[in-house]
Amino acid sequence: MTHTPSIVDRIGASNGRIPFSVEFSPPRDADAEARLWRAVRAFERLGPAFVSMTYGAGGSTRDRTVRVTGQLAEDTTLLPVAHLTAVGHSIDELRAMCGAYADRGISNILVLRGDPPGDPLGEWVKHPDGVEYAEDLVRLVRDMGDFHVGVASFPEGHYRAPDLEHDTKYLVSKLRAGAEYSITQMFFDVEDYLRLRDRVAKFDAEQGAKPIIPEIMPITSLRSARRSLELSGSKLPPVLEERLTRAAGDGPEENRAAVREIGIEVATEMSERLIAEGAPCLHFITLNFARATSEVLTNLGMAATVH
């Protein structure tokens, strides 16, 4: 396997300036792939510490995901992190996926359990020859060799966890199993992130020292934000929800420009607070567009950071 830097090393080598990173999703067709590559080239100029590629259900999307993530490693200056989920995979298939990533020089993997296909909030059914929890997949990937592993964390608690105490315990188990850092679910109240950080540190000081990278979604459309919120189990604070709803208006088409303006402002303010609170990196959901994140970075004076 090619030795690429780990995410922890990469975000730690930022000369005192907070690094940023971005999340892409696998394109569904040729047009979407062209758009992804426009975003990739735009971000290359902005110098993210790393870029992550989500992992979806469905065979053809999966093949494309591996191919495109491989191209990120081979044809760009970016450091890719491949998301990997346990959904619908036997252990042998999960091993084969890791092998495919290793063959393409990808050694950073974000390990997730994933959600049931179709209805993400539906009952989770383990593959008969697969794994039950992300923690098991962390062990599997770590046992395969030289991978650097990250996991998901949930500032508001995962929607399947009975309470925040269990949520913290399970996150710490993933970190103890060998994950080096976590990336959070998107959130809109920075206090939730700070409370998560405190909970983990209190539960286990050693694991609490591992980076918890906050994920930020600059909202550019209320309709699509609501869909993402539904899938993620995150909530908009009522005041923000009301502000966005008012801006969207009650016409047949939402007022995207007004929603976007608020979305960028909120993402900028959240980022400023996270920087002040010592977050290790800012991870932006891009939906494969560069503009909204670039605007937030420009507002933060980070658009000229080059790694």
Ligand X SMILES: Cc1cc2nc3c(=O)[nH]c(=O)nc-3n(C[C@H](O)[C@H](O)[C@H](O)COP(=O)(O)OP(=O)(O)OC[C@H]3O[C@@H](n4cnc5c(N)ncnc54)[C@H](O)[C@@H]3O)c2cc1C
Provide the binding-site residues for ligand X, judged by CB under 6 A: 54-55, 83, 85, 112-115, 133-135, 152, 158, 160-161, 166-167, 170, 174, 183-185, 215
Q: Minimum CB separation from ligand X for residue 136, in Å?
A: 8
- Residue 114 phi/psi, 5-degree rounding, is 85, 175
What's the CA dihedral at 11, 38, 153, 231 to 10 degrees?
Answer: 170
- Encode burial over 105-138: b for 16+ CB neighbours within 10 A, e otherwise: ebbbbbbbbbbeeeebeeeeeeeeebbeebbbbb
Q: Minimum CB separation from ligand X for residue 85, in Å?
A: 5
Show the CA angle centred on residue 270, arms to residues 268 and 274, nearest 5°. 115
Q: Minimum CB separation from ligand X for residue 202, in Å?
A: 17
- How many other CB atoms are there within 10 angstroms of residue 224's CB atom? 15
- CA-to-CA distance for 55 and 52, rounded, in angstroms? 10
Q: Minimum CB separation from ligand X for residue 232, in Å?
A: 7
- Tokens 């992130």 belong to 193
- Cα 6 to chain center, whole Å? 16
130 dihedral zone (left: phi>0; alpha: psi -120 to 50; beta)? beta
Q: Which is nearer to ligand X, 134 or 219 (CB)?
A: 134
* Beta carbons of 299 and 22 less than 8 angstroms apart: no
* Beta carbons of 125 and 169 less than 8 angstroms apart: no
**E-only strand ranges, the chain:** 20-24, 51-53, 80-85, 108-112, 148-153, 181-184, 212-213, 215-216, 282-285
Q: Minimum CB separation from ligand X for residue 257, in Å?
A: 29
Q: Which is nearer to ligand X, 4 or 69 (CB)?
A: 69
Q: Which is nearer to ligand X, 140 or 152 (CB)?
A: 152
Q: Which is nearer to ligand X, 54 or 90 (CB)?
A: 54
Q: Which long-range contacts (CB under 8 A, 24 or more apart) does 197-201 make?
A: 199/164, 199/168, 200/153, 200/168, 200/171, 200/172, 200/175
The answer to whether residue 23 is catalytic is yes
Q: Minimum CB separation from ligand X for residue 248, in Å?
A: 26
Bridge partners of 82? 53, 109
Active site residues: 23
